[in-house]
Amino acid sequence: MPCESPMAVSDSLTKIISKSTVFPATQSTLPDLKLSASDLPMLSCHYIQKGNLFLRPPIVISDLLFLLREGLSRVLTHFPPLAGRLITDANGYVYITCNDAGVQFLHANATHISVTDIVSPLHVPDSVKGFFAFDRMVSHDGHFNPLLAVQVTELHDGVFIGFSVNHAVVDGTSLWNFINTFAEVCRGVKLITKQPCFTRESVLISPAVLKVPADGLKVTFDEFAPLCERVFSFTRESILKLKDRTNNRKKINSYGEINAAEVMGKQSNDPIKLSDDKVTALIGNWIRNAVVTKAEPVPEISSFQSLCALLWRGVTRARKFPDSKTTTFRMAVNCRHRLEPKLETLYFGNAIQSIPTYASAGDVLSHDLRWCAEQLNKNVLSHDDTMVRRSVYNWEQDPRCFPLGNFDGAMLTMGSSPRFPMFDNDFGWGKPVAVRSGRANKFDGKISAFPGREGGGSVDLEVVLSPETMAELELDPEFMQWNCEITFLFKVMNLLDILLRSTTTSGCGFSLILSNITNFNLGMSPCDLGFENETRLPDISFSNGARTTIKLKKSSKIPENSERIGAFATMMIEMLPQDLPFTIFVPSKLAFERDLRLGVNDSLVGEKANDTFAILTRVLSFTVVPWKILSESVPYSREITCDSLSGLKLYVSKDPDETLIVNRIRSKQVDLKKNEIVIHVMDGVIMEADFEQSVRPDDDHDQD
């Protein structure tokens, strides 16, 4: 699958309208802060780029900019280091000088981009990179540039607030505390709930000096390598099921319990039998020694470690390594609570270390999910105060910047955390609808974990891979079955692939294919479409050799409440899951009759029902797009393109009278909705040429 935005607008540039410097509302009294052994390695990393996407605020842009600029000035009095600069003294030590030099504030315009353009495409569109300042700037440049930039970008129907922050000054914990506090101040909160701690008394404050080359510091990875980026979403329910599967271990003897019945059962079926006296003695001996032989309880694997193990396996499989290839899964861990004495929870600065876990590709794939998770779990649990101090000591023997990248092609690096309060940023008009990041510190194998918007333990993984690896991962059934946004689409696309291949090779039409199918279930919403029998489709083979089975639902019942758009259109809509964002360009009642010769009174009767359902399924594949397209998001006199489920290219434009035009077919009604589905009723049927030829009535055929 190509890694490009599936919905392209000709002009994707973000225009900077203004730049200004915002100063703290009150003068800082904080002394210079020395960079720690956790801060200094980040000097060669890009500025962190994280931000929130919001729906349009109910105030004009000038008032919004004033609100944010004033709030930023006030919040900087609580975070004076962010308004400072880096300095290096004569001994080579690097400090943050809290000199109130100010931060950069930018206003940008991208009103040709809608909220849907950002959150709906399968892959994160490149336009998001324009929502952040200080692109590709390394943190060492904080000697000459602001340590923070806030960019407010106007969108067609929303706003994006992007933060670019020096990575030698903050880690994720410090950054999101600042953003949360900024939002509080903008809402008018007088008393700050989470005051940062600026103490510099810990083992992290090192006497070692980092030597900087004469030509400065640079990132340690290729900034221009082709990459594909996608956000995979996992619901709380999905993650809990994954955790249960990962922790599904044998219970026998886990806590020293003896199952005598099982011993006797095995004895009765064992061709080499012991005498009854010996069996009785053996069981008695086990019981007497149970306390001595009691096994240690097996540590529970966390839900996040289960998810990391799932990703490790999926990417390793996608990269197609030989069994002997060593793979690395690197996790960033918070050291604040691991040190003794502990650092303050809101310690300001970096307090993170990177924990690598190594395993051969053969071991990752030949063992089960739990084995992979156990390797991660052991390393995380063992990283205590002793390990943190040992890591600091080892760095002091050879002070250097953190080598960020994928140096042997077999690395994964997990950053950020689903525990960060990324959706708590209500600036006064509601919480964000999405979290996105910029170009910073991205390379093949970089993963960032975000909380899911619905909360409750849901997780989003921002995955950055080479285009080839991403394409393979998206076909991996073990990984994709847990992803809530793609589970249905993944099954639908493979079902359509079966239908397309079957009709192409057999030439017998859909009646033959569906003659053995009376109920498919693609994870739809639980609406009863009226069929009772159930059979299974043949297994689907994937390029990696894995197989899966798909079911599908069909019905010859006329759905209720179908008067407005017609029975056939309603049947197509009910084939889709009601809780996922889709857009369907459904034919009108007249179009079904005129172009497909389908009538409610005769097309759903007897043998014709199978043919009718086959046609509706095929038309569905041509007319459904797996994201929302509202008419207001389509610009006037400009064509946008997107791919339907079947891969048919759709060309969408809008007339001044608000009529949508899709592949030269005009709309009759627009922006109807059913749950998460957007419905546009079209005065014609959108379909491929070959299919159109196959369903064209005989009296419409060209004459010789």
Residue 286 backbone dihedrals phi, psi, to 5 degrees: -60, -40
Q: Tell whether the model's pLDDT for residue 10 goes beyond 70.
A: no
The radius of gyration computed from the CA coordinates of the chain, to the nearest angstrom, equals: 30
- Helix, strand and coil content of the chain, in percent to the nearest 5, comes to 30, 20, 45
Query: Nearest to residue 85, comparing CAs of 169, 20, 29?
Result: 169
Residue 663 has, within 13 A of its CA and on its CB side, a CA count of: 19
Q: Residue 42: its pLDDT value, please?
A: 97
Both tokens of 57, joined, read 């605020």
Q: Which of 104-108, 152-156, 484-488 has the lowest mean pLDDT?
A: 484-488
Percentage of the chain lying above the pLDDT 90 cut: 62
Mean pLDDT lowest for which of 41-45, 421-425, 450-454, 608-612? 608-612
Q: By the 8 A CB rule, do 53 and 2 touch?
A: no
Predicted pLDDT at 604:
66
pLDDT higher than threshold 70 for residue 270: no
Q: Rounded mean pLDDT of the chain?
A: 82
Least confident of 232-241, 332-341, 549-558, 591-600: 549-558
Residue among 643, 670, 571, 668 nearest 6 (CA): 643
pTM of the model: 0.68
Angle formed by the axes of helices 589-596 and 567-574, to 10°? 100
From the CB of residue 250, how many other CB atoms can be counted at a distance below 10 Å?
Answer: 7
| Cα distance between residue 554 and residue 626, in whole Å | 20
pLDDT of residue 574: 86
pLDDT mean over 186-196: 91
Q: Look up residue 295 and give its DSSP letter.
A: P
Query: Which tokens sit at 149?
Result: 């930039």
Q: Residue 284: which pLDDT band, with cuts at 50, 70 and 90?
A: low
Structure tokens at 311: 């990703």
Q: What does the pLDDT read at residue 643?
A: 82
Phi/psi of residue 13, each to 5°? -75, 145
